[in-house]
A and B are shown apart, each in its own frame.
Chain A
Amino acid sequence: MTNVSCYLLGERAIVIDVACHIATQPKLNQKLFALKKWLDSSDAFIDVVPAMSSITAYLINPEKIKQWQQVIVEKWNDLEMDSFESKLHHISVNYGGEFGQDFGDVANRLALTHEQLIRLHTSVDYQVQFMGFLPGFAYLSGLPAQLHLPRKSTPITHVPKGSIAIADSYTAVYPCGSPGGWHLLGQTDSTLFDAESESVCLLQPGDTVRFVEKSC
């Protein structure tokens, strides 16, 4: 157990946390997703929730929490680093203008031309690191370092549904209209979250996302 801490959070949650090691061993992230997949398949958990550098597993039966903590530690030590395969999604984006109100401002602040900004944002495969903030709001990791900007100091009250945004080291798509403090670059027509549809949520933790510029 050299690169992970595993502790209990309340009566039925077990946290597996690699925060201290993720910077030096980025592959630990894939190992966390592999562990999530294994825990999901055990049917012993209500839910397994990934976050920035941890996963939290919620047990159905809290009486067995100590045993499961032990099992998880053993499983972690047995898991291969590359044992996770990710599903790829293409999301087409209208960048700038009425679709992304901060696009011009972000390009200026980062000293990029509009084309460079789009090229950078579409240049990488992002991974759904975790979901939070809103139903279906995916924190996508892998944003090129040239595009890192702190959040706005004052959030705006209405970010339109489908907005593609960046903040800190993440990019994201707003699944519905909401207040928000991220920088808005563009917009997609794809439906990210629909409580009434059968698939509910387009993106799942661990999935890969590639943004594609929509040609007008």
Chain B
Amino acid sequence: MLEVIKPGPLSSVQDLGRRGMRHLGVSQAGALDPLALRLANALLANHENTAAIEITIGLCEFIFHAPANFVIAGADLNACLNDTDIYPCWRYSAKAGDRLSFKQSRDGVRAYLLVEGGFLNIDQQLGSYSTDLMAGFGGLHGRALKVGDKLYYQQAQAKPALGALQPSYEKLIHFTPGPHAQLVSPHVFDILNQTIWKVHPNSNRMGIRLSSHKALTHNHSIATQAVHPGVIQLPPSGEPIILMNDCQTTGGYPIIGVITEADMRHLSQLSAGDCLHLKSTSTTHTAKQRHRVKSHLNQLKLALNKKE
């Protein structure tokens, strides 16, 4: 059993998210950094959709009450197992009584803690173990983790250390053009491409707000239409919002772009005040990006199969 000693600012159970429920107004939820989740699951020989604890910023602490093999993936939040440093995307083993603590980092905000075999006492609802924090279902009792929470797992024999390469996180983020850009201004794409954007403190799992740009203020609204993670909405204030996994399913702000699926993981690691660049791209490039991610995962799985 894993006991939560300190949950930090926000820790919640997340898998790859809910699929096929948007037409009922149900958000996707799920890990903001799905590649980190997949890499960690590959290292533990779990199903790729096995749920993790998504840790935000760090400043949290857990105790293993039974032997476990575990992986932390995503940002390096300066974790320690007792007094030993723990690095992202390596498989470690813990003994009963071992204490896992996270400090924080300048270079990322989200890390994923997984155990071999996954956690057992979490709720699958509407096809996913992810916590829907707004609607209050899934994960552990439909809420963020609290002090004293207990997550059960099958205890495991210690396995040797094993690591995987985790592609680096970038601040250059690609998007494909959105349908309502021309409604706002003929220069929207130039502005998006040329501005150094700053992440607003009021950003969370629902959306990342960017600094405002005078030339993007407007007074247009659109007929409410379906939106999804990655969509860049432009409210009249001229502050673009990039929707993230917990976003609502429909929206009435003009859509000026959509972040590429492969680059969403970079956004998951940005914190308030961080700068980023946006770059418009083509569908050919997005297809290449998707293939690169896929082959990275496939190569890892092949290598692991040979090794174990």
Contact = CB atoms under 8 A, between A and B. Distances in A.
Contacts of B287: 11, 62-63
A10 B135 contact: no
B248 A132 contact: yes
A110 to B, nearest CB: 24
A47 B125 contact: no
B249 interface: yes
Interface stretch (A52-60, A75-83, A118-126, A180-188): A52-60
Given A11-B261, A62-B290, A131 B23 contact: yes
Contacts of A10: 176, 228, 230-231, 258-261
B126 A51 contact: no
A11 B176 contact: yes
A135 B24 contact: yes
A51 B25 contact: no
B24 A201 contact: yes
B283 A50 contact: no
Contacts of B261: 10-12, 62
B135 A195 contact: yes
B254 to A, nearest CB: 12
A202 B301 CA distance: 42
A136 B225 contact: no
B20 A176 contact: no
Given A9-B179, A133-B25, A195-B125, A17 B225 contact: yes
B21 interface: yes
A15 to B, nearest CB: 7
A130 B255 CA distance: 19
Nearest to B136: A176
Given A10-B176, A196-B125, A49 B22 contact: yes
A136 B24 contact: yes
Nearest to B178: A9
Contacts of B225: 15, 17, 51-52, 54, 56
B250 interface: yes
Size category of the B interface is: 35 or more
Contact of B22 (A11, A12, A47, A138): A47
Interface residues of A, number: 43
B30 to A, nearest CB: 13
Contact of A54 (B27, B223, B228): B223
Given A7-B179, A130-B250, A13 B24 contact: no
Interface string B69-107: 000000000000000000000000000000000000000
A49 B224 CA distance: 12
B135 A51 contact: no
A37 to B, nearest CB: 12
A4 interface: no
A195 to B, nearest CB: 4
B161 interface: no
Contacts of B27: 135
Nearest to B249: A132
Contacts of B260: 10-11
A111 interface: no
B31 to A, nearest CB: 17
- The 5 closest A-B CB pairs, nearest first, are A10-B258, A132-B250, A56-B226, A131-B25, A49-B226
Given A51-B223, A134-B135, 19 more contacts: A9-B179, A9-B258, A13-B226, A15-B179, A19-B223, A47-B19, A47-B20, A49-B226, A51-B250, A56-B225, A130-B224, A132-B248, A134-B134, A135-B24, A135-B25, A135-B132, A176-B135, A196-B137, A200-B24
